């Protein structure tokens, strides 16, 4: 597991543990306070997120439903936010630019399926609560951990795709 992933999971466990401890010690309902504050922070983050990632990354958000790309399409740096749904990216006939293209997929529950031509280098960083990952013939099931794989030709490939995923429950297929 990467250091950042362990730090995030560890911090969340500490915060939730402290909340439950305070709730028991002070006999108060912490959730009546935390839910509104959490919703306010989530709204502020959604508003500010486009400015945080810069102008070279497009964002597509969908609370429920799927995102499909196939046929002739232009692959660009992009972030996908899915509540519950699938992201299917068929790049076999797509225009993939030279250099590294970053694709980030964040979601609660969903699948990511990506078809990539054999002459394109792949780097996959998958993090989540419960993950089933099938990348280039390698299969792994993860619980609260990360999966990282880089194709053999990634460093020398003209065209590269960097896929970063983060799901609570997800399945990744490349």
Cα Rg of the chain (Å, integer): 18
pLDDT at 138: 77
Percent of the chain's residues with pLDDT above 90:
29
Q: Is the pLDDT of residue 1 over 50?
A: no
The answer to whether the CB of 98 falls within 8 A of the CB of 161 is: no
Question: What is d(CA 162, CA 144) in angstroms, rounded to the nearest whole number?
Answer: 21
DSSP annotation of 77: S
Question: 3 or 44, which is more confident?
Answer: 44
Mean pLDDT of 35-42: 76
The SS3 assignment for 42 reads: helix
Q: Is the pLDDT of residue 42 over 50?
A: yes
The SS3 assignment for 56 reads: coil
Question: 9 or 97, which is more confident?
Answer: 97
Q: Is the pLDDT of residue 125 over 80?
A: yes
pLDDT at 144: 76
Q: Is the pLDDT of residue 50 over 60?
A: no
Question: 28 or 119, which is more confident?
Answer: 119
β-strand pairing of 99-115 with 138-150: unpaired
User: Which residues, at least 6 apart from 60, have a Cβ–Cβ distance to it below 8 Å?
Assistant: 67, 78, 79, 80, 81
pLDDT at 86: 92
For 12, counting Cβ atoms within 10 Å of its Cβ (0-12 exposed, 13-18 middle, 19+ buried), the class is exposed
pTM: 0.71
19 φ, ψ to 5°?
-60, -45
CA-based max dimension of the chain = 61
Mean pLDDT of 81-103: 91
State the virtual CA torsion across 42, 44, 46, 47 in degrees, nearest 10: 170
Question: 105 or 138, which is more confident?
Answer: 105
Q: Is the pLDDT of residue 143 over 80?
A: no
For 71, counting Cβ atoms within 10 Å of its Cβ (0-12 exposed, 13-18 middle, 19+ buried), the class is exposed
The answer to whether the CB of 143 falls within 8 A of the CB of 82 is: no
């Amino acid at each position: 597991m990467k250091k950042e992933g362990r730090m995030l999971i560890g911090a969340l466990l500490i915060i939730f543990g402290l909340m439950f401890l305070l709730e028991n010690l002070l006999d108060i309902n912490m959730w009546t306070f935390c839910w509104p504050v959490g919703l306010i922070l989530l709204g502020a983050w959604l508003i500010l997120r486009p400015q945080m990632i810069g102008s070279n990354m497009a964002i597509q958000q969908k609370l429920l439903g799927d995102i499909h790309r196939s046929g002739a399409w232009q692959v660009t740096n992009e972030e996908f936010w899915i509540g519950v749904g699938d992201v299917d990216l068929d790049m076999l006939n797509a225009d993939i630019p030279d250099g590294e293209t970053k694709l980030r997929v964040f979601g609660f529950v969903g699948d990511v399926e990506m078809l990539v031509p054999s002459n394109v280098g792949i780097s996959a960083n998958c993090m989540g609560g419960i993950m089933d990952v099938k990348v280039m013939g390698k299969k792994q099931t993860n619980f609260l951990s990360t999966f990282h794989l880089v194709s053999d030709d990634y460093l020398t490939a003209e065209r590269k795709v960097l896929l970063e995923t983060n799901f609570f429950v997800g399945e990744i297929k490349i």
